[in-house]
Amino acid sequence: MKAHQRKLDIKNGCVDLSHGSGGRAMSQLVSGLFHEAFGNEWLARGNDQSAFDVGAGRMVMTTDGYVVSPLFFPGGNIGSLAVHGTVNDIAMAGARPLYLSASFIIEEGFRFSDLKLIAESMGEAARDAGVHIITGDTKVVERGKADGLFISTAGVGVVPEGLDLSSEKARVGDRVLVSGTLGDHGVAIMSKRQNLAFETEIVSDSAALHDLVARMVAAAGSGIRLMRDPTRGGLAATMNEIAQQSDLGFRLQEEAIPVKPGVAAACELLGLDPLYVANEGKLVAVVAPEIAQSVLLAMRAHPLGRDAADIGEAVADDHHFVQMATSFGGGRIVDWLSGEQLPRIC
């Protein structure tokens, strides 16, 4: 006889310790909420792992953790962010993302309704990106041991034949392209922080970039040296990392760097520099000078690259300085971020 089980009360219910205990309650949460949201043939088989065919060529793998606070922010939530972030890490290799895993650490008392919203936006983000969440895990911890919900992910993708993007490949004379305005995600999060509420129309740029990347690769072939998504630490951290890894320096033009007026104003108010603020739907590409223009045009033809810009060039520099001509007419370095600018931004 099949045991009677009360349906999950999504509207009023919340997660309790039994939902992580391995019993019926957990099975109900997994199948009733996560499978429902992610729905695919792999999850439906209910194994401890999922098998998939490996195609020809090289594969890439990445992993990421999400602890953003608040969980819901203008332009997304921790669920969509987790998918976009993982997809983008794969895409920066020029790869096509295929499969993701998702592991949830949930605090006792977390509302089912919020969990459902988050799972649904994960499912939606995955479907939009053409990837499948094929394996996962659920743990519940006591109240106070996690701030609502943490998500960790892993992802795999496949790199097209002949493409080998890597951070040490920038060369002197290469151009630096960014796909759009900087600092949107960080400012959107900041605007919703409890002790810092201010009104802004800025929404997070959280988005999956693999399609934009595919267009760029199609336009440029192997002329793209490397791509990075400037998340925590912003453009500044990314450029300094590339400078170190490629053993050169960069010279940027502040005037060319796109920043939304609202983001610039919020940063001004908070004493932040948009170059250090996180992005979740932007990429930086270092490309051979002769193809810079055609890549830029391909980027601008894509909705996620509309505001793409050429912001500077790679130069010989033993000290790996990222220099910038300020829009005021002087010069400065764009150094590494020191200390913590904005905790728990992603």
Partner 1 sequence: MKYADEFRDKEIALGLARAIQAEANPKRPYRFMEFCGGHTHAISRYGLEDMLPQNVRMIHGPGCPVCVLPAGRIDMAIRLAERPEVILCVYGDLMRVPGSQGGSLLRAKARGADIRMVYSTIDAIRIAEENPGREVVFFAIGFETTTPPTAVMIRIAERKQLENFSVFCNHVLTPPAMLNILESPDIRNIGRVEIDGFVGPAHVSIIIGTAPYEFFSEEFGKPVVIAGFEPLDMMQAILMLVRQVNEHRHEVENQYRRAVSRDGNLRAKEEVSDIFELRDRFEWRGLGLVPYSGLKLKRTYAKYDAEVRFEMNELKIADNPACECGAILRGVKKPVDCKLFGTVCTPETPMGSCMVSSEGACAAHWTYGRFRDHQQRRAS
| Cβ-based nearer residue to partner 1, 19 or 260 | 260
Three-state secondary-structure class, residue 113: helix
We find the least distance from the C-beta atom of residue 263 to partner 1, in angstroms, to be 10
How does DSSP assign 220-252, residue by residue? HGGGEEEEE---TTHHHHHHHHHHHHHT-EEEE
Residue 105 identity (one-letter amino acid): I
Structure tokens at 32: 């009733």
| CA neighbor of 181 nearest in space, from 94, 287, 284 | 284
We find the least distance from the C-beta atom of residue 194 to partner 1, in angstroms, to be 10
Q: How far apart are CA 252 and CA 229, in angstroms?
A: 17
Q: How far is the first Cα of the chain from the last one, in angstroms, to the nearest whole number?
A: 46
We find the least distance from the C-beta atom of residue 321 to partner 1, in angstroms, to be 5
Can you give the C-alpha Rg of the chain in angstroms?
21
We find the least distance from the C-beta atom of residue 340 to partner 1, in angstroms, to be 8
Judge contact between 149 and 122, C-beta under 8 A: no
| Cβ-based nearer residue to partner 1, 17 or 196 | 196
We find the least distance from the C-beta atom of residue 143 to partner 1, in angstroms, to be 19
Residues that bind partner 1 (CB under 8 A): 195-196, 261, 264-265, 268, 270, 319, 321, 323, 325-333, 335, 338-339
| Cβ-based nearer residue to partner 1, 227 or 334 | 334
